[in-house]
């Protein structure tokens, strides 16, 4: 299992991978490919793609928006744009998009990959 936080990624490919994992996962509306396709431009250029890959492809995907402020001057916005008016609509639904067989080790790897230092 490999976890990574990508600053540069191909957005079209990311949406294609997201769509494939979404088809296998137990997602909610705010993880739908159409929502993510609208979310990415709203999140801007600073958004990062968090992924945990297994031997057969992605086990977990998420988008993280770093911003200044918060604890110690840095905040990781998990699936948020950093614009409160936009983000408040769906914050309670935030989670990693997880493969159906992903266990807690995958979630832990995803959490550990969120390093901005």
3-class DSSP assignment, residue 3: strand
Q: What is the pLDDT of residue 77?
A: 56
- Tokens describing residue 98: 């997880």
Q: What is the pTM of this model?
A: 0.74
Per domain, the residue ranges of the chain are 2-112
Q: pLDDT by residue (tens digit) across 25-71?
A: 988 888 899 988 988 888 788 888 989 999 989 999 988 876 644 44
pLDDT category of residue 88 using cuts at 50, 70 and 90: low
Chain position carrying tokens 């949406």: 15
On the question of pLDDT at 87 being above 90, the answer is: no
Q: Which two tokens stand for residue 6?
A: 């990508």
Those residues with Cβ within 8 angstroms of residue 88's Cβ, 6 or more apart along the chain or in another chain: none
């Amino acid at each position: 299992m490999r976890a990574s936080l990508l600053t540069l990624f191909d957005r079209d490919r990311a949406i294609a991978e997201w769509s494939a994992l979404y088809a296998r996962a137990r997602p909610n509306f705010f993880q739908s490919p159409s929502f993510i396709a609208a979310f990415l431009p709203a999140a801007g250029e600073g958004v990062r793609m968090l992924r945990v890959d297994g031997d057969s492809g992605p086990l977990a995907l998420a988008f993280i928006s770093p911003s200044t402020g918060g604890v110690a001057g840095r905040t990781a916005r998990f699936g948020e744009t950093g614009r409160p008016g936009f983000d408040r609509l769906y914050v309670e639904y935030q989670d990693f998009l997880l493969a159906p067989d992903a266990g807690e080790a995958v979630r832990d790897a995803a959490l550990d990959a969120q390093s901005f230092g």
